[in-house]
């Protein structure tokens, strides 16, 4: 049976390639998604990708993931730092969740260094650009 994973991109990630390229790079979200799907396929995984700027939509997708997927990779964007609702949704679903960030959240503004979702995630990968996602896909294949 093929393992199925879900990748969730949070707020503002739809603007990759346009938004602060010095921080987030020049790659568009469409190219990133294509690369993630290719990496997942190489690892023998089926991958679905979801992006939303809305907290409730992310929570709904996490809830649905509990019965449809074997794991989740999430870049919760700014919700990382204050969304206890997303944190609680991750804790409730009982499948592995890996937190990813393109930038090094510990090396940026002080408020970004705190992740309220990290304690309920299986692991966190940040600061490696788009490689953060690719490493999370590899980790999902090996979990």
Positions marked active-site: 24, 101
Instruction: State both tokens at 91.
Output: 């804790």
Q: Is residue 113 within a helix (H) or strand (E), and if so which, with residue range?
A: none
| C-alpha distances in Å from residue 13, one per residue of 25, 29, 52, 116 | 11, 7, 8, 19
Phi-psi region of 20 (alpha: psi -120 to 50; beta: other; left: phi over 0): left
Q: How many CA atoms lie within 13 A of 6 on its CB side?
A: 25
Tell me the sheet residues that pair with 74. 8, 99
Residue 45: beta bridge partners?
Answer: 3
């Amino acid at each position: 049976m093929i393992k199925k994973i879900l990748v969730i991109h949070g707020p503002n990630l739809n603007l990759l390639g346009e938004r602060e390229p010095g921080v987030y790079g020049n790659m568009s979200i469409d190219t990133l998604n294509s690369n993630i799907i290719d990496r997942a396929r190489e690892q023998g995984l089926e991958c679905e990708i979801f992006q939303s700027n809305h907290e409730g939509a992310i929570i709904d997708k996490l809830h649905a993931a509990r019965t449809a997927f074997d794991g989740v990779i999430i870049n919760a964007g700014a919700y990382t730092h204050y969304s206890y609702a997303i944190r609680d949704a991750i804790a409730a679903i009982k499948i592995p969740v890996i937190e990813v960030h393109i930038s090094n959240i510990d090396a940026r503004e002080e408020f970004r260094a705190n992740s309220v979702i990290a304690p309920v995630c299986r692991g966190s990968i940040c600061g490696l650009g788009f490689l953060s996602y690719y490493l999370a896909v590899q980790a999902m294949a090996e979990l």
